Amino acid sequence: MKLKSCLTAIATLAVTTLLIAPAFAAPASPAEVYGKLFSGQAEEVVAAAEAMPADKYNFVPTSGEFKGVRTFGQQVTHIADAQYFFFSGFGVKPTIDPKSIATLTNKDDIVKALKDSFAFAEQAMKTITPENAFEKIANVDGTDTRASIAAFGLAHTNDHYGQMVVYLRLNGIIPPASRK
């Protein structure tokens, strides 16, 4: 009987610890939360950019209402350029002139610029603290705090990632994130 009581006590303690311990865990910082979101997003977007063959970077859908839309490569360079635009007010200095991104046409150069832009955005995420997350800074497309700019940046990139997914599928390519 003592062994059964001991096992019951240990099991109860273990379950209680698992249920209660998270309530006492330190809260995640804004830098951790946004950094994790951007890291996951970067992984999906970069994988999609790498999945499209170089000869399809000029692809634009032609069936349907697609007049005037960006090519696949332009979708990718737009995302890269936007990262610098959104996060320029966070105090992180870019390692390139962001204006040069619009001139890129080679897939390898475009993918590198995309990776570099996400690295820049992730550096910017590291500057978000509980104290400054909601302080007003330079207005970026109607958002003016680090937290709102980061949220807007995530949403903006997801919009263009969705378009990239359509372009990939129209070319018979299953997006890497959908292969999991």
> Which domains occur in the chain, in start order?
29-179 (1.20.120.450)
Decide the pairing of beta strands 143-145 and 136-140: antiparallel
Share of the chain above pLDDT 70, in %: 86
Residue 76 near residue 116, CB atoms below 8 Å: no
| Mean pLDDT across 55-73 | 94
Quote the CA–CA distance of 103 and 74 in Å, as a whole number.
10
Question: Could you read off the pLDDT of 76-85 as tens digits, one per residue?
Answer: 999 999 999 9
Residue 120 near residue 87, CB atoms below 8 Å: yes
pLDDT tops 70 at residue 140: yes
Where helices occur in 52-106 by DSSP H, the ranges are 72-87
